Amino acid sequence: MALKDRYYRFFILLLALLQIVGMIFNFDLTFITFLVSIPIFVLGITRLSNSFKVATVIFIIAGIVLLFTGTFSIYAIAKAMTSMIDIVVLLVVMQLFMLPVTVGNYQKAVEQFMENKLHTPKSIYIFVMLITHLLSSILSMGTVSIVISVLGDSIKRRVKDYEHFSGTAITRAFTLGTLWAPGAATIFLISTVTKVQWSSLFLPCILLGILGVILAYLMESKKDYLKPINKHIQNNLKKEVKNQSLIHVLLAILGLLILSFTFMHFKVGSSMDSVTLAGIIVVVLWLSLLLLFKNKISVQPTTPAVKEYLNRGIFSGAALAPFFIAIGTFTYGFEHSQLSVVLIKTLRPIFAQLGWYLVILIPLIVVASSLIGIHPLASVALVGKIVMSAHIAMSPLLIALSLNIGSVIAYMVSPFARIIIIVASLLDVKPTTISLHWNWLFCVMFAILGLTFSVLFSLI
């Protein structure tokens, strides 16, 4: 590992430690966190793709310039640059779930369940979507490689079109998980921009995710590649996973959600702080139970899993750290600038005239931006901040849901989206095939269903 990477890992771990200490003991560590975020930004920006580098530079410069139009001070810069740093810490902590998943050998349990219990392409399709959707809530992007590497051979033997099957099932289930998942950055960015708490977003967003999964299955269930094949090759796994159950994974996710809401109820930090603390507790308990009962269940050595987290998991979780620092600087600067005052005066009457059409316009802007290479996180932050600054007579929850729907569609339909690129490379197909050819109709139908549901839910 290069020396630069070692330093980057050190500062990321230090940042996580500061965030956790500040959260538990209610310390204001803004300025210290700011000092740590500087080397993270400098070291991390070189790791970004070219498109993210450009967006990061633009946002950080724009944010600093906006701060100069308001009340400029060193403390204001510190507040701005650290305003979204908790998202980075959350993502780094969520990568810890790879430890119990790997040590507990749950990948083998997933493959075993599919081989022994599922006998038709339709049942396999449902299972792949559900396992992807659930795992994405705690493992984020790591879910994709696990599902394809673990289940790929089994799927190939039992369906007619492996690429189409996997491309639609995985991208849709994964992106629908970003609607509500504790391990997703988008919903917490939307929460920060719109000031709608994650606890308020969770119920409508998980319902949207469930509706999306059902819609995805119904739209594919009549396709040729989900019809039963004449010959099924049995492949009984030689080694059974001793007393292993996928219920453990489900219980861990439920435990994470229950603890998160409990901490939020007792106001233990922000929504992200609550989820971060809950994530650490669940991982420690899950891993401890696995090691305690290692004679009764099949477990792997912990050392390789820990090394994998230190060498890859941290970097995966902190992959967009400079980008979030830049976005945080911009949004904080925008809130405290004269530009926001001007935009409010200009846009408020326009948005007021649009009325409910704004609910449709918001996701359209996010999706259209993604099709020309602008990442949904960037467009969500910008559009959300402008709309919220106008103080229009519309429920903030509805605006947040509209942004969330726009982002999930953008992840699914944009050939530039990271999830599309990763799945396309693993399946050896073109990104445009998955995004524009296989997913476009689903995205249209989900937009109609999702926005209708959001409007009705906001009226309750």
pLDDT of 367 reads: 94
pLDDT of 307 reads: 92
Helix (H/G/I), strand (E/B), else coil: 430: coil
Spatial CB neighbours of 327, under 8 Å, sequence gap ≥ 6: 59, 84, 189, 377, 378, 381
Residue 118: which of 144, 151, 148, 145 has the closest Cα? 151
pTM for this predicted structure: 0.82
Q: Please state the length of the chain.
A: 460
Burial (CB < 10 A; 0-12, 13-18, 19+), residue 232, is exposed
Q: What is the DSSP letter of 229?
A: P
- Give pLDDT tens digits for 15-33: 999 988 888 888 889 999 9
Low-confidence residues of the chain: pLDDT under 70: 1, 230-244
In whole angstroms, what is the distance from residue 48 CA to residue 68 CA? 27
pLDDT of 434 reads: 94
Spatial CB neighbours of 7, under 8 Å, sequence gap ≥ 6: 39, 43
Looking from the CA of 429 toward its CB, the CA atoms found within 13 Å total 21
pLDDT of 148 reads: 85
307: left (phi over 0), alpha (psi -120 to 50) or beta: alpha
In whole angstroms, what is the distance from residue 145 CA to residue 8 CA? 24
pLDDT of 167 reads: 93
Q: Decide: 201 and 160 in contact? Cβ < 8 Å.
A: no
